[in-house]
Amino acid sequence: MSNLSPAPHSRSFPLVEPGRTVATAEASTSGSPSKARTDRRSKATKGISLAGLRVPVPLPRDVDTAFSIPITVSGEPGLQIIMCELIMKQMPSETITRMVDNANKCIDDFVGGKRLCVHRGYFPSQRGSEIYVSTKTPPEPGFTVAHLLTHIIRKQYDGWIKSYSRIKAKTKLMDVVGPGEVAPPDAEVCYDNIYVVAIRRSTGADGRVRWFPQLEVRFQ
């Protein structure tokens, strides 16, 4: 039996049924809306309040739809990544260990004692520029949700700085979640708006299993 098979661990983590989580975070498609469509969306959404809005970031096309490790804080879905130390020197992050439910859950059986390919959640505007690099060594025994999430959020922070130069920078909402009808096309988001709601993995069809976050943009 493969170490990466989720079935034996369904009692440890409520693994997602196919299409359940992905239904609100489907893989992104290429292409951009026409100017006419953008103009119509702008008129239709003009004056709409963003307060309370939650928008999923599309997942990669090769996401394993049967696997998910939900990230919850005090029973509520999602960890606001700005809550973590911007430069996390500890492994795992003390903040993640303290805040995230089941952070100390051992996931050795999932990672299989192999080098991990962990990457950030790429936004639709960044697709095509992905870089996947495996860790130098396999994780030590006792690898937990907190360890994996610390790796992921480090990647997310580094990616934000690389893309936008500073942590307080803003970018267009549609660059982060793709074109849609949910908000004005000129709406902006910053690092504070990004939440991790689950840890996901790829199907491994290309010969390598990748681990990455399922992200959500939230407006207070």
Contact (Cβ atoms closer than 8 angstroms) between residue 154 and residue 172: no
pTM of the full predicted structure?
0.78
Tell me the mean pLDDT in the region 107-120.
89
- What letter represents residue 34's amino acid? S
pLDDT tens column, 128-186: 667 777 887 888 899 999 999 999 999 999 999 988 989 999 999 988 998 776 667 78
Does 90 score more than 70 pLDDT?
Answer: yes
Q: What residues have CB less than 8 Å from 146, skipping those under 6 apart?
A: 92, 93, 96, 97, 100, 103, 104
pLDDT tens column, 28-47: 444 444 444 444 444 444 55
In the 8-state DSSP scheme, what is residue 15? P
Report the DSSP pairing between strands 69-70 and 117-118. Answer: unpaired
pLDDT of 21: 34
3-state helix, strand, coil in the chain (%, to 5): 30, 20, 55
The dihedral through the CA atoms of 48, 51, 57, 58 has a sign that is: negative
Q: Is 215 exposed, middle or buried (0-12, 13-18, 19+ CB in 10 A)?
A: buried
Mean pLDDT of the chain: 79
pLDDT of 88: 67
